[in-house]
Each structure stands twice: as C-alpha cells, then as structure tokens.
C-alpha cells in the first residue's frame, strides 16, 4: 500500500502561495512605450520583471479523436535579484507550471500544477526561449519550438511546433495596457497559429497527433488594476486563416473595464484593434465546478465587426466538454481553460476553433497579480 | 441411544450438571482462588502482549521523516559515505529528463536544546518547501486542491517578510513537538548544532494529517538551504527521494526511474533503496534485541501456565468426591474431561481479555524504555502511539487460550481417568504429572539441550541470525530440570531432620521424604520461575561486569570533549577545528586522542567509520580491548599504509554483521572513491550494536576533506586538577560537552541501567508470579491432605502446630525449588551468554554470577514460602477442624 498522497499541511500553514511575491511593483522593471523587442532574445526570460508567462494552448487530432491541450510556464519574481540567488535552491524566482489535456471522447480532463524555485529543477533562460519545470520543458530549436509535458503518470506529450504565421505583438506602441495605472501593462508577444505534430501517450495508447496551437508570451510587473477581479479571454483560430485575440477585464462592480481589447489578425498578420465599446462579450452557458463551486459562463457569445467585410458578426464558443477547470493546487488559483469550437450564430456552422480562458470566478485573481 | 450407558440423562443435561456441580459451585466457594488464577493468566498474557506492542511502536518510528510531511517515496538515493553534493541534482535531473517523478532532496542534521545539551536529540530536516507543495499536485486527477478557503488568511508568502525560504532561523514543528517542548508559533528555541548555538523561531505548527504518519516529536522542519546555512554544510544533502505520480503508466515510470537511478547510484558510489528495504534493513539490526524481549516476556506466561496447571490439579483433587458421584451416576470420562477443558476455555478467555486490556496499558509504559534502548544502541527511532490491531487481539486470545488449555489438559485427563472407587478415597497422594517422576528422562533432556547449544545460528534475512539452537537448549533444560528436581527432595528432607527436629518438623520432613506428584509439580514451577529470572540476572551481571571493565580500560584519559547532543547513535554533531584546536593548545593539556565518526554502508549494512589519531605516548593513548589483537601495537600503527591498503580495526559486532575477521579485506566507499582496508584487529565494543571500523584519521581527512571531530579524549599534564580544568573549559565553550573521566563513567553506567530497565521489570513480574504460585500450590497440597491434618489435630496438635508443620513443608519445597532454579540458571545463563548473546548481538561477555543477588533471592523465597505456608496451614487447620466437627 502506498501512503495516500494528499498533503496540504504545509500549504495551509503558509496560508497559500501568492502568485506574486514580495517586492513592490516599483522595484521591478515596467514595460516602456516604444521599446523595441528583439528576437530571439525576447523569447527568453526577463527576470527584472515580476511576472512572466509562456502560454501554449491548442487542438490535437489523431484520426477521429480530438484533444485540447494546455502547457503554461509561469515565472513569478519574489524579489528583484539584487543579491545573487542560491544556485540550487533560489528564492528570487518561483516557477509555476500547468499542464492540461482534455479528451472529449471520455470526458476526462487531465491536469497538473507544479511549483519549483529557481535552480536545479526549474528555470528560464535569458536571451532565448528555454524554460523548464521538472520534466516539463519548452524550448526553441532552430525554427521549431519543442514542448515536453506530462500529467502525472497518465499523460505524456512531446510536440514540435512550427510557426505558421509570424509572431505578433499586441498593444499600442509595443505595450498592452490592462488598466489606468502605468504599471498595469505588459509586453504581449503571440504566435497566433503554430502547426503542431508529435506523440501523445494517453492511457495504454500511443497516438501520433497533429493540430494547431497558439502561444502567448507576456512580460509584466503588474498585470491587473486593483479594481479588476478577473478576465475572460479567448484565442479564435478561424478556418479562413484569420484569428482573434479578445478579452474582457471584469471589474468589482460587475462592469467591463475600458481596457478590454479585441484584436483581429488577418492572414498576413496585420492587426485590427477594437476597443471595449466596439464588441460585446455575452455570458452564457453556466457550468458549476463540483470542485471549487465556481460558476463559469462556458459558452459566451462574442459580437464584433469583421474588419474584412465591415459586417457585424456573432460567434458562439462551444466547449468540447464542460469540465476543463484547472484547479489550482499550491498556486491557489483556479480557472477554466478549455478547447472550444467557434459557431457562427447566423449560419449555425462551425467556422473555427478557439481556446477560452476564464479567471477570477473561483477567487480574486487581481490580488495575486498585483 | 447408547444402551451401554446407565444414564438416561441427555448430554445437555449432563453438561449442565457438570457445570453447576463441578465448576460453578467450586468457583463460588473459592472466588478468590478463581480470581487469582484468572489474574495470573491475564498477567502472563499482558506482559507478553505489552512487549509485542511496545516493540512494534518503539521501532516503527524509524526515521524517514519526510514521510510524515510528504508521504511515502518510491526510491531513496543516498551516499554510501558522507553527504551527497548538491551538484548531483543537476545530473539526476538530466538522467530523468522525461520522467514525471517528483524529486525531493533532503538534508538531515542532528541537534540538541542549548539548555539541555545532553537532553533529547533534535532532528532538523531540511526539505525544499516549495517543491514539497507538489506532493499535493501529483496525486490523482480528482484532487480538488486546497479548496477556496485555504488561502483566506494567506499572509504567508514565499517571498517577503514572513517567508521561510532560505531562512536559517525559522522552523516548522509538528503538534507532538509543540506539546512535548511546550512551544507554540512564535516561540524561539535556543538550539545546538554541532558545536554552535543558534536561535530558531517556530513559524508554525504543522497540523496532524490523518493520512500521514505522525510528525515525530523531535523533528524540526526547515527550508533546505536554510538548514544548509544553519548547519554550515552549504552543498550537502543527506539523500534524494523520488516519488512516481500515480496513473496508468505508474509501473513503467517506476521501473524507468529505478533502472536509471540504480545505474546512476552504481556508477557514482551511491545507494538506491525503496523505503521498505531501508526500513527493514535498519530495523532488522534490532530484531535480535526485540526477539529476546519477546521471549523474556513469554517467561511470565510460561510460569503462569505452570501455576494454572497446579491449580487445576488441586481442583481435581478437591472435587474428587463429586467426580466419583458423577461417575457412578453414569457420566462418562469423556464428559468429565470435556467439563474440565471447558473450565480451561473459560479461564483462558477471561484471562486473555483482561490480559489484553492490561497489556495495552503496560505497553504504554514500556515503549519509551524500549525506544531509548534502540536509540542508544541501534538507530534513531521515535515512538509512535501504541496500536492494538484486531490480529494482535486474536493472536493473544489464541495464545492465552492455548496456554490455559495446555495447563488444563493433564489435570482433565487425570480427573476423567481416575476410577470412581479411587476417587472417593480422600488423601491419596495423587496429582502431579507422572512424567515428573522419570528422572532419567530429565537427564536425557538436559543432555539434548547441551547438544543443541552447540548448533550454529539460524539465518533469517540478511541482517538477522536467530540462535535457534540456544533457545531449544534453554527449553529442554527447563523441562529437564523440572523432572530432575525430584532428586532434591530426599537430601532436603534429610536436612530438615538434622539437629533436633520437633514433631511438626519431623512430619514436614516425612512429607518431603516421599514427595507426591503435587510436591514435584510445585517445586518444578518454582524452579522454572527462579531459574529463568536468575539466568537473566546472570546475563545482566555479566554484561555489567564486562561493560564496567571495558569502560574502565577504555576511559583512561582525564577528560572527554564532544559536541552536545543526546546519547544516541543518531547524534551526528561535531566539533569544529577552531574549537578542538583551541582546547588542545590550552594550558595543562598534555595530549589528545581525536576521533571523527562517519556513517558508511558496505554490503547493504550501515555502520560507523571512525577516523582516529591517538596521543603519541605509548602509555597514555586510547587502548582498545582486543578480541583478536593486531600484530603490532602502539598509537601510530594505523598510519602504516601498505601500498594501497589501509590497516583498519573492526569491532566485534561489525565482524559478525559483515562476516569478516582479522585479515579480511574490505572496500570502503568514501567521497574520494572506494578505498581498500585490511582488517588487522578485532576489538570489543559495547557502546552500539551497529559496529565500528577504525582507521587512521590521516586517511579519513584526505577522503572526506574534513577537519571536524566527533569527540576527543584529553590527557592533562601531571598536577593539573581535572575537575577545575574541565569546569574552566565548560565555561569557555558552553555549547560543547566537557566531562571528567569520573563523570563519563557514571553516565555510561546510568545509560546501561536505563537500557536494561525493561529486563528488570519483566524479571520482577516473573518472580511475583512465581511467589503467588507457591502460595496457591501450598494451598492445594494441604487441601489434598485434609484427612491427615485432621488426624494431626485429633492427636492433639494445635492449630499453630499444624501451621508450623505447613511452614516447614512449604519452606522445604521453596529450598528445593530455589536450589533447582539456581542450578538451572547456571546452565541457562551459560546458554544466554555464550550461545544466544554472541549469536544475536555479537558481544563477548565474561560470565559473572551475582552471588549477592542470588542469596537475597534465596532468603526472600524461603521466607515468603515459610510465611505463606504458615498462613495457609493456619487457615486450613481451622477449616478442617470445623468440618470434622
């Protein structure tokens, strides 16, 4: 008999891990207007910023079978590294990572969180993309990105990703603002469409998989404004070769922050920005999490103007399965992150695939991202 | 229907009559006797059970302490010697690139409380407090995480003011620790680690988790780099634990990690275990000690069996008239035997139930003493709470019932076989076990016992030898002696007649001249109890004598210096070079012996490696006691390396554990790679059971790159006042232990007695049972001779005179039991010291008989027996005369 594993004693004692650590935002670097990002250098880590993440979401196919996957690597600065950190057991940077895989055929959602301090078992390279946490790893190898991930002894995936379109940088003058405070901003770099192929080990099966993914890399020192309690975000990949990145930042009073954005990306990678008042995000399809009790609107309807035609369009995001909640273990953050189909409300046709993310329903994420 | 039976009663009715007439009525008539019998049986069962439970609880806490914080690992990687360098973590990560295993490095350091430097051992465990969180995440898919409430009061951040990360002054403890040391969150503890004093703040008390083992009451948890800083061991790890997450690929992932890490361990001189392997190999070291305690505890039960047998015999005699009546009514012998056996069953069940309850309580008192011994002699353990499993209850019930039935079987047979006519004849010398009269059989048993004593030990498991031959020899000797004791009756009877005996003494002597079965049985029971207790006394005396001699020869320096810490094999505290060099250079110090002790593992067995350098004075240096002495002697001989082979001395226990002897080669794992050692001498060591190898410190300094010392013996210049000098040193270095020779001797002896505390308690219980039994047996004897007593009275003997006769008879039996017991103990003691002890512990002891204690025991036994005889005789005389009237 193996000893039952659950142990929260230490966690409870520490009172939960805050995504951000000590050190006032002022001590950290802030995104600067007009700053020109350079690549591949800026695909790498920026430890002078407090919060950074490399966020991969996508859709995989093996014959008739379909899966959604997520691989996220967070770097959470605890203090600016003014004194050198312990090489093996650093405490200036904490690395958190999430892996998830949804299998609509069985209804299983596999996910795991991992937390490590900078050192021998987690880290992110400066100057190029190479980030790891335990056996989970994302790195740039030539033109490819290579991702290794697993969920306990249930799932393992090894994927090679190749940018189908060049990267885009969201925001005005190189920075993406999230609130009126100057600090609530980020550098927001995205590969909106990556071709994926690789292997997926699931249960007894070893599957050759292929599909499409989306990758965000955001660098900031404070992501949200104090009044904001969470966001709804989605990455749309239309069959016609265009994409949308859109989000609404929700405020405590229930209103939508004017800093919410929706951006159309055309086939050539040109961006069309739409402000909060130019699109609507209508909450629909409530799903209550049996684990956290949070109620998520998992089938939102988004109304926006198609820059190609100037016509008003309505898209319904329909999740491939309801239970795609990433339950925060030690990170203390629970959110819904799941694969969806995009349905054109006018024609009722599936016109693409999306990944939807909803935070701040199970807990107030703003406190953790200050 | 059986036509042959004259009885027309159905069997159920027969059963009911037997129960009410023979058993129940008897119990009602003598409730005290019944209570004493049940009490004796329950005491036997209780002692047996309590030792089993306490043994289990005392060693179950063997320290893989991270288990109580993070659950059980799948593998443990640890160095064969010294520490594991932190750099290896990158290599391990590289080896397991594609494995989902969670990898937990751990550092463990021993310490003590500053105001109690020789008090309890503290165990600092350094773990990566961030990575530890992952244990929660690597569980099943349905893990619900900490839930929405857990962060509500969350002020504890990894970074910032409240952080534990990297902190050398903040610790977490378990509830048991908080209770034991009366501390709470915010308390500051002053602790000693190595030879330094430090303050640590308790930042939190870990709540108990019902799914995990209890956090031991001496454990302090810290962030790993914080402990590295506190212990000043910046790049050191004690071990790395691996945990494979659950899931369908668990077995495959486990196999992969096992294979990769096995190769890694073999290539780099490390060891890979599963926690079960590690635990069982470590706890096996104390298996012999625990087995001995179990067997000793069986002693009380065995004596109890004798007593029940006697009492049942007495009951047969007492109820003869009833049996005869029943037989004449047509009750068959089988039915009578069954009735007796049922009585045994009821006794057995009642006694066992009471015994189980009592045993549970006794175990609580015993567990601390056993754990202390294991800590002193074997390895670090903590006591866990006593748990009484259903299996254990059933086992004890069966054991108690078995003992009771065994004790009832012979009397039951006797009751059923005695013909009705004979049964009615009161006063016939019946009773006892016929086999006790066959003295040649006794000789055969003793001879066979001697033969068995020479058998080699039975191997069970890698570390465990069971002296099966020794135990068999002891059992045969016990039975043999029980029979041969009959031969002592005549000489003792003659002794009683010597001088000018009065009529009552004459009468008593005549009873012993023609001993009945009952006499024999009583004397045999007493002899067995005394023999076993006295044999244990011989063992303890021999041990004490040997140890005192050993300490006397070993401790010849004027003072002893060591880092503070409990007397435990797990104490790893050391003296820094700055401290010991200053002491060595201080005024009045003529020279020192230096020792640095490490833990090493060879052939899967962990033991101590001592790097020693001795005071360069042919008269004044630490001289060991040799079992197999080296060819050359002197303080410098260990430094004489022959090419690549280093000379080394090993302790007797190590020789036994590794099955090596003088001349054997041993390859030692060291941080500088494997080193060849040739054993050039075997010395006696009684300080621990793990075993020690001593090589020159010149070599261990090279291998380990370490200038620290574990302890140091100091020789003063002539004319220096040792007490005064030690007091000065203690004042100058408050964080270390400086003791005079006399003080260290005193402490060693105190620890020795503490170690034997359980043995003493068990012995006392056995003697108590034996003396109670003597009283019971006498009552039976006198009852058997009711008519004779009545005759004595009718010819004019007063009640006091009858009591006097009983006193003489009783004293005579006590003398016989005592003499037989002492003779038996000489043999049992020999078996314990020369067979069982060397085979199970590997310690050579010199045979020593505690004459003084034996004399006391003799006086006590005979006086008690005389007194009991007098009281019983006085009472019986009264009863009998009443009845006669």
B49 and B101, same domain (yes or no): no
Contact of B796 with chain A, judged by CB distance below 8 Å, is answered with: no
As for how many domains chain B has, the answer is: 4
Per the model's pLDDT, the better-predicted residue between B203 and B529 turns out to be: B203
pLDDT of residue B786: 67
- Give the domain CATH number at A310: 2.40.370.10
Residue A199 confidence (pLDDT) above 70: yes
Q: For B465-515, what is each residue's pLDDT tens digit?
A: 778 888 889 889 988 998 898 899 999 999 988 888 888 888 888 888 888
**Does A2 map to a domain?**
no
Q: Rounded to a whole number, what is the distance in Å from the CA of B400 to chain A's nearest CA?
A: 32
Residue B236 confidence (pLDDT) above 70: yes
pLDDT of residue B540: 79
Residue B17 contacts residue B8 (beta carbons within 8 Å): no
In the block, which residue shows the tokens 């035609």?
Answer: A309
Its domain, for residue A177, covers 9-369
B294 and B357, same domain (yes or no): yes
Q: Hey, are the CB atoms on A135 and B250 less than 8 Å from each other?
A: no
pLDDT of residue B9: 61
Whole-number mean pLDDT of chain A? 88
pLDDT of residue B460: 66
B706 and B588, same domain (yes or no): yes
Of A12, A135, A334, the CB nearest to B96: A135
Of A5, A8, A89, the CB nearest to B138: A5
Its domain, for residue B204, covers 75-131+163-273
pLDDT of residue B151: 33
**Does B151 map to a domain?**
no
Residue A52 — very low, low, confident or very high, per pLDDT cuts 50/70/90? very high
As a whole number, mean pLDDT of residues B105-122 equals 84
**Does A3 map to a domain?**
no
Residue B190 contacts residue B197 (beta carbons within 8 Å): yes
B541 and B617, same domain (yes or no): no
Q: Hey, are the CB atoms on A117 and B69 less than 8 Å from each other?
A: no
Residue B148 — very low, low, confident or very high, per pLDDT cuts 50/70/90? very low
Whole-number mean pLDDT of chain B? 80
Chain B interface test: which of A7, A87, A92, A147 (most B C-beta within 10 Å) = A7
Residue B780 confidence (pLDDT) above 60: yes
Residue B185 contacts residue A44 (beta carbons within 8 Å): no
pLDDT of residue A187: 94
Question: How many angstroms separate the CA atoms of B842 and B649, rounded?
Answer: 16
pLDDT of residue B401: 87
Residue B182 confidence (pLDDT) above 60: yes
pLDDT of residue A309: 96
Residue B522 confidence (pLDDT) above 70: yes
Listed residues B215, B239, B273: the one ending a domain: B273
Q: What SS3 class is residue B202?
A: strand
pLDDT of residue B237: 93
Per the model's pLDDT, the better-predicted residue between A197 and B306 turns out to be: A197
Contact of B131 with chain A, judged by CB distance below 8 Å, is answered with: yes
Per the model's pLDDT, the better-predicted residue between A236 and B414 turns out to be: A236
Residue B679 — very low, low, confident or very high, per pLDDT cuts 50/70/90? very high
Q: For A295-330, what is each residue's pLDDT tens digit?
A: 999 999 999 999 999 999 999 999 999 999 998 765
Residue B81 confidence (pLDDT) above 50: yes
Residue B861 confidence (pLDDT) above 90: no
DSSP secondary structure string for all residues of A36-89: PP-TTGGGS--TTSSEEEEEEEEEEEETTEEEEEEEEEEEEESS--SSPPPSSE
Give the residue on A whose Cα is nearest the Cα of B138. Answer: A152
B760 and B834, same domain (yes or no): yes
Q: Rounded to a whole number, what is the distance in Å from the CA of B224 to chain A's nearest CA?
A: 8
As a whole number, mean pLDDT of residues B720-734 equals 89
Question: How many angstroms separate the CA atoms of A153 and B838, rounded?
Answer: 49
B267 and B295, same domain (yes or no): no
Count how many pairs of residues, chain A against chain B, have C-beta atoms within 8 Å.
237
Q: Hey, are the CB atoms on A116 and B249 less than 8 Å from each other?
A: no
Residue A4 confidence (pLDDT) above 60: no
pLDDT of residue B152: 30
Residue B885 confidence (pLDDT) above 70: no
Which ranges constitute the DSSP H helices of B378-516? 390-417, 420-424, 439-453, 468-484, 489-497, 503-513
Look at the pTM and tell me if it is higher than 0.80.
Answer: no
pLDDT of residue B750: 75
**Does A4 map to a domain?**
no
B124 and B265, same domain (yes or no): yes
Q: Rounded to a whole number, what is the distance in Å from the CA of B238 to chain A's nearest CA?
A: 15
DSSP secondary structure string for all residues of B598-667: EEEEETTEEEEEEEEE--S-SSSS--PPEEE--SS-STTGGG--BTTEEEEEEEHHHHHHHT--TT-EEE
As a whole number, mean pLDDT of residues A158-182 equals 89
In the block, which residue shows the tokens 């954005």?
Answer: A261
Per the model's pLDDT, the better-predicted residue between A332 and B454 turns out to be: B454
Contact of A79 with chain B, judged by CB distance below 8 Å, is answered with: yes
pLDDT of residue B335: 80
Of B151, B213, B223, the CB nearest to A16: B151
- Chain A stretch 289-308, residues whose beta carbon is closer than 8 A to a beta carbon of chain B: 291-294
Q: For B606-637, what is each residue's pLDDT tens digit?
A: 888 999 999 888 888 888 888 899 998 888 88
Residue B29 confidence (pLDDT) above 80: no
B780 and B856, same domain (yes or no): yes
Of A15, A117, A155, the CB nearest to B156: A15
DSSP secondary structure string for all residues of B122-183: EEEEEE-TTGGGHHHHTS-TT--TT-TTTTTT----SSSTT--TT-SSEEEEEHHHHHHTT-
B540 and B563, same domain (yes or no): no
pLDDT of residue A27: 82
Listed residues B273, B297, B325: the one ending a domain: B273
Residue B170 — very low, low, confident or very high, per pLDDT cuts 50/70/90? very high
Q: For B336-373, what is each residue's pLDDT tens digit?
A: 788 778 888 888 888 889 988 888 887 777 777 666 66
Residue A175 — very low, low, confident or very high, per pLDDT cuts 50/70/90? confident
As a whole number, mean pLDDT of residues B807-824 equals 91
**Does A19 map to a domain?**
yes
As a whole number, mean pLDDT of residues B763-781 equals 70
As a whole number, mean pLDDT of residues A271-275 equals 94
Residue A187 contacts residue A203 (beta carbons within 8 Å): no
As for how many domains chain A has, the answer is: 1
B327 and B398, same domain (yes or no): yes
Residue B432 — very low, low, confident or very high, per pLDDT cuts 50/70/90? low
Residues linked to residue A210 through DSSP beta bridges, in sequence order: A61, A197
Residue B149 — very low, low, confident or very high, per pLDDT cuts 50/70/90? very low
Q: For B52-63, what is each residue's pLDDT tens digit?
A: 777 666 555 554
What are the structure tokens assigned to B320, written together? 């003869």
């Amino acid at each position: 008999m193996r000893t039952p594993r659950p142990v929260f004693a230490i966690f409870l004692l520490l009172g939960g891990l805050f995504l951000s650590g000590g050190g006032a935002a002022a001590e950290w670097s802030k995104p600067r207007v007009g700053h020109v990002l350079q690549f591949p250098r800026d695909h790498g880590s920026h430890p002078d910023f407090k919060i950074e993440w490399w966020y991969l979401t996508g859709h995989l196919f093996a014959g008739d079978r379909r899966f959604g996957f997520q691989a996220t690597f967070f770097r959470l600065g605890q203090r600016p590294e003014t004194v050198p950190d312990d090489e093996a057991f650093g405490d200036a940077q904490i690395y958190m990572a999430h892996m998830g895989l949804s299998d609509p055929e069985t209804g299983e959602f596999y996910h795991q969180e991992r937390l490590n301090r900078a050192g021998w078992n987690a880290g992110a390279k400066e100057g190029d993309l190479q980030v790891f946490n335990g056996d989970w790893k994302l790195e740039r190898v030539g033109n490819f990105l290579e991702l290794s991930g697993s969920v306990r002894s249930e799932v393992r995936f090894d994927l090679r990703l190749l940018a189908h379109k060049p990267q885009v940088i969201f925001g005005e003058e190189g920075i993406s603002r999230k609130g009126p405070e100057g600090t609530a901003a980020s550098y927001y770099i995205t590969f909106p469409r990556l071709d994926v192929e690789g292997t997926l080990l699931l249960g007894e099966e070893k599957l050759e998989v292929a599909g499409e993914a989306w990758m965000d890399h955001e660098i900031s020192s404070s992501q949200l404004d104090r009044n904001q309690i969470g966001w709804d975000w989605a990455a749309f990949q239309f069959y016609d070769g265009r994409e949308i990145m859109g989000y609404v930042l929700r405020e405590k009073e229930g209103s939508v922050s004017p800093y919410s954005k929706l951006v159309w990306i055309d086939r050539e990678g040109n961006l069309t920005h739409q402000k909060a008042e130019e699109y609507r995000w209508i909450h629909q399809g409530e799903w209550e999490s049996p684990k956290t009790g949070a109620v998520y609107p998992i089938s939102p309807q988004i109304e926006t103007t198609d820059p190609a035609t100037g016509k008003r369009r309505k898209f319904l995001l329909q999740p491939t399965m309801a239970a795609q909640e990433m339950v925060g273990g030690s990170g203390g953050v629970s959110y819904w992150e799941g694969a969806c189909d995009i349905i054109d409300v006018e024609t009722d046709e599936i016109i693409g695939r999306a990944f939807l993310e909803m935070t701040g329903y199970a807990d107030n994420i703003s406190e953790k991202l200050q | 229907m059986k036509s042959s039976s004259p009885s027309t009663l159905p069997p159920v009715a027969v059963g009911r009559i037997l129960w009410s007439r023979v058993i129940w009525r008897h119990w009602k008539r003598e409730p005290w006797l019944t209570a004493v019998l049940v009490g004796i049986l329950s005491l036997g069962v209780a002692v047996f059970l309590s030792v089993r439970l306490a043994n289990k609880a005392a060693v179950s806490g063997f320290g893989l302490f991270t288990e109580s914080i993070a659950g059980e690992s799948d593998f443990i990687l640890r160095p064969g010697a010294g520490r594991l360098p932190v750099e290896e973590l990158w290599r391990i990560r590289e080896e397991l690139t594609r494995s989902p295993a969670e990898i937990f490095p751990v550092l463990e350091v021993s310490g003590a409380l500053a105001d109690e430097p020789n008090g309890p051992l503290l165990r600092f465990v350094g773990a990566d407090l961030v990575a530890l969180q992952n244990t929660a995440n690597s569980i099943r898919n349905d893990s619900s995480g900490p839930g929405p409430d857990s962060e509500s009061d969350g002020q504890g951040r990894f970074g910032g003011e409240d952080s534990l990360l990297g902190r050398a002054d903040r610790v977490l403890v378990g509830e048991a620790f908080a209770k034991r040391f009366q501390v709470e969150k915010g308390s500051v503890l002053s602790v000693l680690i190595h030879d330094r004093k430090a303050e640590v703040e308790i930042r939190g008390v870990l709540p108990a988790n019902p799914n995990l083992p209890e956090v031991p009451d001496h454990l302090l948890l810290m962030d790993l780099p914080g402990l590295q800083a506190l212990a000043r061991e910046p790049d050191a790890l004690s071990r790395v634990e691996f945990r494979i997450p659950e899931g369908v690929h668990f077995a495959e992932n486990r196999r992969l990690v096992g294979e990769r890490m096995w190769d890694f361990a073999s290539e780099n001189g490390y060891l890979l275990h599963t926690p079960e392997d590690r635990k069982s190999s470590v706890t096996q070291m104390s298996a012999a000690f625990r087995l001995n305690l179990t067997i000793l505890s069986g002693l009380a039960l065995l004596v109890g069996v004798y007593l029940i047998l006697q009492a049942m015999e007495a009951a047969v005699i007492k109820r003869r008239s009833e049996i005869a009546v029943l037989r004449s009514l047509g009750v068959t012998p089988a039915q009578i035997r069954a009735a007796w056996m049922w009585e045994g069953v009821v006794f057995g069940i009642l006694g066992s139930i009471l015994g189980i309850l009592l045993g549970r309580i006794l175990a609580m008192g015993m567990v601390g003493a056993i754990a202390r011994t294991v800590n002193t002699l074997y390895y670090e353990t903590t006591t866990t709470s006593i748990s009484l499993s259903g299996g254990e209850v059933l086992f004890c019930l069966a054991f108690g019932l078995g003992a009771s039935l065994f004790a009832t079987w012979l009397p039951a047979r006797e009751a059923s076989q005695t013909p009705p006519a004979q049964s009615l004849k009161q006063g016939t010398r019946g009773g006892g076990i016929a086999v006790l009269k066959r003295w040649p059989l006794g000789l055969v048993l003793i001879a066979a016992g001697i033969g068995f004593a020479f058998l080699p030990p039975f191997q069970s498991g890698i570390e465990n030898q069971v002296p099966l031959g020794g135990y068999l020899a002891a059992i045969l000797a016990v039975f043999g002696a029980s029979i041969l004791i009959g031969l002592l009756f005549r000489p003792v009877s003659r002794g009683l007649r010597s001088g000018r005996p009065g009529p009552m003494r004459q009468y008593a002597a005549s009873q012993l001249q023609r001993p009945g079965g009952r006499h024999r049985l009583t004397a045999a029971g007493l002899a067995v109890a005394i023999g076993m207790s006295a044999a244990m006394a011989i063992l303890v005396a021999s041990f004490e004598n040997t140890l005192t001699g050993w300490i006397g020869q070993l401790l010849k320096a004027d003072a002893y210096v060591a880092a503070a810490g409990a007397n435990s094999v797990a104490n790893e505290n050391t003296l820094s070079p700055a401290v010991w060099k200053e002491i060595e250079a201080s005024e009045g110090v003529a020279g020192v012996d230096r020792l640095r002790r490490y833990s090493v593992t060879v052939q899967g067995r962990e033991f101590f490696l001592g790097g020693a350098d001795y005071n360069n004075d042919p008269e004044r240096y630490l001289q060991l006691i040799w079992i197999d002495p080296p060819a050359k002697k002197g303080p410098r001989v260990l430094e004489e390396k022959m090419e690549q082979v280093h000379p080394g001395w090993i302790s007797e226990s190590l020789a036994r554990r590794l099955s090596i002897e003088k001349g054997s080669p041993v390859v030692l794992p060291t941080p500088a790679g494997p080193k060849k050692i040739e054993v050039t001498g075997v010395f006696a060591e009684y300080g621990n059971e793990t075993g020690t190898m001593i090589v020159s410190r010149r070599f261990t300094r090279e291998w380990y790159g370490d200038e620290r010392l574990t302890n140091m013996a100091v020789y003063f210049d002539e004319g220096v006042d040792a007490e005064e000098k030690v007091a000065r040193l203690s004042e100058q270095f408050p964080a270390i232990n400086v003791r005079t020779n006399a003080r260290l001797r005193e402490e060693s002896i105190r620890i020795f007695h503490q170690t034997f505390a359980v043995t003493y308690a068990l012995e006392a219980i056995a003697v108590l049972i034996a003396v109670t039994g003597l009283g019971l047996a006498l009552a039976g004897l006198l009852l058997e001779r009711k008519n004779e007593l009545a005759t004595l009275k009718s010819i004019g003997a007063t009640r006091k005179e009858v009591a006097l006769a009983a006193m003489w008879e009783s004293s005579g039996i006590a003398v016989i039991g005592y003499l037989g017991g002492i003779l038996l103990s000489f043999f049992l003691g020999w078996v314990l010291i020369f067979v069982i002890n060397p085979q199970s512990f590997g310690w050579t002891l010199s045979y020593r008989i505690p004459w003084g204690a034996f004399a006391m025991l003799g006086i006590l036994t005979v006086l008690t027996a005389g007194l009991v005889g007098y009281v019983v005789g006085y009472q019986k005389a009264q009863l009998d005369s009443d009845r006669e009237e």
